[in-house]
């Protein structure tokens, strides 16, 4: 596995687009093999069916694996162990590659590489949650916030929001870094911009639902981590009025409550985060009330 990672890292460190693409595909192939290895060994009929075109592959294909099943696999164990060290950590290589891609600016081929790198980052943080600690550092969190700038296409902005959720879930230290870098201002400014697409605005509202959830300092269960992409599926149209076009309305009727201070790794209460968000948006209380009534994430994020 070290040899495979070494080849991928060599390509990811290149400034040549085709080589970077090759490196991303090598990482994707490695992760796919890890995730599929148990089901492949468990169901030998799959290889037989491929040889027989008369069989219905759609009905007989083995079901996708859940993360709890993967964790008992030797290949996953070896991969996880390698990720604990600096030399073989894939997430660190990907954010370095992403940083170079962002510096090159937005164009068609470069955008596809950025999207691929973001997708892989999401998967890596789900498979190896300790890698999320990278985003407690300002330089890496700033990288995600940079991708929310209007210079980038809606597809990149939407994928970045999902990546941001993955990096923040049950990681208060990362959330404090996000707040300290004015991440809430970045998110709400993007929402208020008339140039922001409707799909991106829906993702942003869903992100704020997630942000307002009570925090827990523990790492969530493997199944909870597997459900992260589903957090961004609920339609928030009924709460569109909570996002008035103009941040000045957020402070009408007096100053917003001052949230208590929190250290880098400490949790904030829902009221604290509501007060922070209230500095940038009006009618945040409606978001909180809907969150309490409908519990869109099962009542907790952890």
**165 and 259 assigned to the same domain:** yes
Q: With 50 as the cut, is the pLDDT of residue 207 above it?
A: yes
Question: At 269, is the pLDDT very low, low, confident or very high (cuts 50, 70, 90)?
Answer: confident
The Cα–Cα gap between 211 and 82 comes to 31
**160 and 302 assigned to the same domain:** yes
**147 and 289 assigned to the same domain:** yes
Does residue 134 belong to any structural domain of this protein?
yes
| pLDDT reported for residue 76 | 78
**19 and 72 assigned to the same domain:** yes
Does residue 42 belong to any structural domain of this protein?
yes
Q: How many domains does the chain have?
A: 2
Q: Which domain holds residue 192?
A: 128-302
Does residue 109 belong to any structural domain of this protein?
no
* Alpha-carbon 289 to chain mean position: 25
Tokens of 164: 């941001």
* Alpha-carbon 138 to chain mean position: 16
**45 and 194 assigned to the same domain:** no
Does residue 273 belong to any structural domain of this protein?
yes
Q: With 70 as the cut, is the pLDDT of residue 236 above it?
A: no
The Cα–Cα gap between 61 and 36 comes to 12
Residue pointed to by tokens 């949790």? 267
**152 and 224 assigned to the same domain:** yes
Does residue 232 belong to any structural domain of this protein?
yes
**3-state SS class at 260:** coil
Tokens of 204: 């942003």
| Plot region of 229 (φ>0 → left; ψ -120 to 50 → alpha; else → beta) | alpha
Q: What is the pLDDT of residues 129-138, one digit of tens each?
A: 999 999 999 9
Among 39, 61, 89, the domain boundary falls at: 89
Does residue 110 belong to any structural domain of this protein?
no
Among 89, 116, 149, the domain boundary falls at: 89
Q: What is the pLDDT of residues 55-106, one digit of tens each?
A: 444 444 455 555 555 556 677 788 888 888 878 899 999 999 999 999 887 7
Q: Which of 174, 64, 70 is nearest to 128 (CA)?
A: 70
**156 and 60 assigned to the same domain:** no
**49 and 156 assigned to the same domain:** no
Give, for 226, the enclosing helix (H) or strand (E): helix 222-226
* Alpha-carbon 283 to chain mean position: 26
77 C-beta neighbours (distance < 10 Å), count: 13
Does residue 217 belong to any structural domain of this protein?
yes
**255 and 136 assigned to the same domain:** yes
Q: What is the pLDDT of residues 26-44, one digit of tens each?
A: 999 988 887 775 544 444 4
**159 and 276 assigned to the same domain:** yes
Highest mean pLDDT among 215-219, 254-258, 275-279, 281-285: 275-279
**139 and 269 assigned to the same domain:** yes
Does residue 160 belong to any structural domain of this protein?
yes
272 C-beta neighbours (distance < 10 Å), count: 18
pTM: 0.73
The Cα–Cα gap between 159 and 111 comes to 11
Question: At 223, is the pLDDT very low, low, confident or very high (cuts 50, 70, 90)?
Answer: very low
Q: Which of 218, 140, 217 is nearest to 178 (CA)?
A: 140
**78 and 194 assigned to the same domain:** no
């Amino acid at each position: 596995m070290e040899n495979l990672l070494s080849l991928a890292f060599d390509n990811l460190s290149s400034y040549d687009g085709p080589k970077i693409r090759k490196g991303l595909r090598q990482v994707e192939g490695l992760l796919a093999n890890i995730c599929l290895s148990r089901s492949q060994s468990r169901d030998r009929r799959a290889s037989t069916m491929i040889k027989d075109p008369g069989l219905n592959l759609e009905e007989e294909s083995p079901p996708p694996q859940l993360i709890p099943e993967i964790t008992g696999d030797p290949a996953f164990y070896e991969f996880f162990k390698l990720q604990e060290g600096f030399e073989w950590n894939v997430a660190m290589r990907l954010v370095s590659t992403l940083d170079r891609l962002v510096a090159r600016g937005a164009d068609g081929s470069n955008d596809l590489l950025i999207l691929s790198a973001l997708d892989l980052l999401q998967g890596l943080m789900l498979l190896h949650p300790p890698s999320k600690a990278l985003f407690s550092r300002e330089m890496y969190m700033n990288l995600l916030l940079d991708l929310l700038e209007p210079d980038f296409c809606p597809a990149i902005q939407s994928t970045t929001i999902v990546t941001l959720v993955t990096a923040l879930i049950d990681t208060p230290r990362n959330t404090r870094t996000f707040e300290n870098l004015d991440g809430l201002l970045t998110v709400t400014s993007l929402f208020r911009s008339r140039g922001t697409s409707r799909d991106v605005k829906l993702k942003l509202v869903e992100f704020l639902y997630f942000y307002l959830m009570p925090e827990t300092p523990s790492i969530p269960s493997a199944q909870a981590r597997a459900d992260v992409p589903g957090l961004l599926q609920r339609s928030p149209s009924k709460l569109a009025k909570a996002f008035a076009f103009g941040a000045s309305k957020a402070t009408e009727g007096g100053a917003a409550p001052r949230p208590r201070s929190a250290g880098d790794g400490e949790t904030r209460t829902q009221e604290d985060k509501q007060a922070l968000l209230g500095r940038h948006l009006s009618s945040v209380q409606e978001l909180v009330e809907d969150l309490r009534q409908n519990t869109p994430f099962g009542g907790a994020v952890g």
